[in-house]
Amino acid sequence: MILRYWCFLFIFISAFAKAELTIEITQGIASAIPIAVVPMKWQGKPLPENVDEIIRSDLERSGHFGILSPDDMLSHPSTQEDVYFRDWRLLKQDYLVISSIKSVGNDQYKLRYQLFDVLNERELLAQTLSAKGSQLRDMAHRMSDAIYEQLTGIRGAFSTKIAYVTTNRKRTRFNLAIADSDGAREKVIMTSKYSIFSPSWSPDGKRIAYVLLEDTGSKVYVQNIATGKKQLVSANKGINSAPAFSPDGNKLALVLSKDGNPEIYVVDLNTRHWVRVTNHYAIDTEPNWMPDGEHLLFTSGRSGNPQIYRVSLSSGYIERITFEGNYNARARLAQDGRFLVMVHQSAKGEPFHIASMDLTRGLLQILTSDTFLDESPSVSPNGVMVMYAAKYNKRSILAAVSVDGDVRFLVPSKSGDVREPAWGPYID
Amino acid sequence: MMHLNKMFSVSVLCVAMIGCASDGGTTDEAATTEVAAADSQTQAVPESPDVDVVTQEQVEVVANPLLDQTLVYFGYDRSEIRPEFKDVLNAHAQFLQANPNSNIVLEGHCDERGTVEYNLALGERRANTVKRYLIVQGVNPAQLESVSFGEERPVMLDSTDASWSKNRRAEIKYQDQ
């Protein structure tokens, strides 16, 4: 593990809005790794964020870790000299995290933490970070990312953002919001009396494309998150919808029905050059880029029911990808395109759930079961978790499930309904 | 005049259903499958307050009670027009041909099942199916607009078969002149 020194330049400044989302973990993996994250040593007036608590909840939410409560610890060491590995072995802990923070003046903090392998009494990771008071939460997520990566081999995505739409029960007010991946620090970036849906992040995390359903129909906008400036991309006659940024961020795939039928188009955002991709009398929608930037996945009703197809942008060749089930839609890729994640209905009248399909082997697995009317799956940038929208206790909530189906948690809102999650990219 | 008629039909939908029934067409079946108004079939049309103030134009409208029905319902994931709604659409087609200055917007809607984007497309198909039907009946396409609201503007908010069947609809909206 390379020793990294993170310098934060965060665009999400107004961090003080009260978080609207909460997390309820409903299922973790049986072989969770036991880890103790000791309360961080700090002398002085209370810090704006409880860093070690954020790390514990990040790791717990991943489902891969069993978290030792600070109350059950025999000691709260902050330096290696104070660590008695025997104590932690006694508590059946495999790994230990200790940390300390000090003020270096002018709202600047210096934070040091170490990760130990308890059985081998070995340091696995040590980092020193610095941040302003308002960035302590970012720092906690970065620490979670590093610990997670060290112990699982998979890059952590705790410091990424999610976008989603909240609405009141009467559906007269819609907010497009951005929050930390744990739902904290919600910030509304767009509010409207019209329905907002299909938010899509640019690969650099600086812009979001979305659909606004006005009285005259749907329109596609791209909004700069930092400045709030929004740009109308498409307001043709008929449907303008389902925007998706290309991997290089220069193009947008979207759906237009200006010629009478929903078809997939690609527009170059710099030159405004439009290319029509599909041409079929059935519904074609929900384009999503393959990592190569040369192919799109999309949903089409051309076989009678919605199924997932792949189109080559250079040749126009279209190939059907899904065959199992009555309804497969809104495909997203996970783990460099190895898995397809989608909305799936096994047969007519059966419930809608989130399913993954192993594209190398063609195996389809239904991932969700305890939520209802599951839709809008969005995959974390490390390809591990899928956030989706569902009905639960008659409310629209967000929920998450791992691509392997082993880990599940719910992200209910304290008020109103939440829909249309979009997991943001890594931001470095 | 059509505007008055619209206000009337929106506020007292069941009256519109009775109107269909009294016409003796097949549309009452359609109405009863969607709205529990089967036993109202034999009742008299109870629009007493309005009857006193009818103008000549309104008499014309009352004479075409099918025009009060502005909702067309669809099967799950379907966009073709059910036979029971053809009389209603024929009435609107006749009216639009007789009144070339009248314009309508056809709104397509879906129930909440399935994805938001697929439903936006499906809603458009529903609106366009109605539009095409009216054009085939002789309506000038210039009088017709269509818009899809997908699953975003439900009339019923709960997740039941009964609510879903009312949300899968096309709405005929006459525009103010």
CATH code where residue A347 lies: 2.120.10.30
Which domain does A36 fall in, by range?
Answer: 31-152
User: Of B20, B66, B73, which Cα lies nearest the Cα of B43?
Assistant: B20
Same domain, A245 and A344: yes
Output the pLDDT for position B63. Answer: 59
A228 domain residue, yes or no: yes
Region A283-295: mean pLDDT is: 97
Same domain, A194 and A81: no
Same domain, A279 and A404: yes
Query: CA-to-CA distance for B119 and A158, rounded, in angstroms?
Result: 32
Q: What is the CATH number of the domain that holds A71?
A: 3.40.50.10070
Same domain, A79 and A210: no
**What is the distance in angstroms between the Cα of A253 and the nearest Cα belonging to chain B?**
14
A19 domain residue, yes or no: no
> B interface mutation test: which of A283, A296, A392, A396 has the most B CBs within 10 A?
A283
- Among A18-27, A395-404, B46-55, B90-99, name the one with the lowest average pLDDT: B46-55
Q: Which of A98, A129, A152 is the last residue of a domain?
A: A152
pLDDT top residue among A372 and B37: A372
Q: What is the CATH number of the domain that holds B17?
A: 3.30.1330.60
Which domain does B45 fall in, by range?
Answer: 2-174
- Average pLDDT of chain A, as a whole number: 91
Same domain, A166 and A200: yes
A201 domain residue, yes or no: yes
Same domain, A327 and A368: yes
A13 domain residue, yes or no: no
Enter the pTM of the model. 0.84
Number of domains making up chain B: 1
- Average pLDDT of chain B, as a whole number: 75
3-state secondary structure labels for all residues of chain A: CCCCCCCCCCCCCCCCCCCCECCEEEECCCCCEEEEECCCECCCCCCCCCHHHHHHHHHHHCCCEEECCHHHCCCCCCCHHHCCHHHHHHCCCCEEEEEEEEECCCCEEEEEEEEEECCCCEEEEEEEEEEEHHHHHHHHHHHHHHHHHHHHCCCCCCCCEEEEEEECCCCCCEEEEEEECCCCCCEEEEEECCEEEEEEECCCCCEEEEEEEECCEEEEEEEECCCCCEEEEECCCCCEEEEEECCCCCEEEEEECCCCCCEEEEEECCCCCEEECCCCCCCEEEEEECCCCCEEEEEECCCCCCEEEEEECCCCCEEECCCCCCEEEEEEEECCCCEEEEEEECCCCCCEEEEEEECCCCEEEECCCCCEEEEEEEECCCCCEEEEEEEECCEEEEEEEECCCCCEEEECECCCEEEEEEECCCCC
Q: Kindly identify which residue of chain A lies nearest to residue B152, measuring between CA atoms.
A: A195
Interface of A with B in 6-25 (CB under 8 A): none
**B113/A352 touch (CB, cutoff 8 Å), yes or no:** yes
Output the pLDDT for position A413. Answer: 77
A23 domain residue, yes or no: no
Output the pLDDT for position A46. Answer: 81
Same domain, A283 and A364: yes
- The 10s digit of each residue's pLDDT in A19-72 is 467 777 777 777 889 999 999 998 877 888 999 999 999 999 998 899 999 999
Q: B24: pLDDT confidence band, cut at 50, 70 and 90? A: very low
**A218/B148 touch (CB, cutoff 8 Å), yes or no:** yes
Same domain, A134 and A52: yes
Same domain, A122 and A148: yes
Contact present, A58 and A23 (Cβ < 8 Å)? no
Output the pLDDT for position A292. Answer: 95
Q: Which of B116, B147, B154 sits opposite A375 (nearest CB)?
A: B116
CB of B122 less than 8 A from some CB of A: yes
Same domain, A171 and A144: no
> Can you tell me which residue has the tokens 């502005």?
B70
Region A356-385: mean pLDDT is: 94
Residues from chain A that touch B165, judged by Cβ atoms under 8 A, are none
Q: Which of A134, A152, A170 is the last residue of a domain?
A: A152
Number of domains making up chain A: 2
Give residue A76's identity as a one-letter amino acid code.
Answer: H
- Among A20-34, A401-415, B81-95, B112-126, name the one with the lowest average pLDDT: A20-34
- The 10s digit of each residue's pLDDT in B34-80 is 333 333 333 343 444 444 444 555 444 455 888 899 999 999 989 99
Same domain, A379 and A266: yes
Q: Which of A123, A152, A181 is the last residue of a domain?
A: A152
Q: Kindly identify which residue of chain B lies nearest to residue A374, measuring between CA atoms.
A: B114
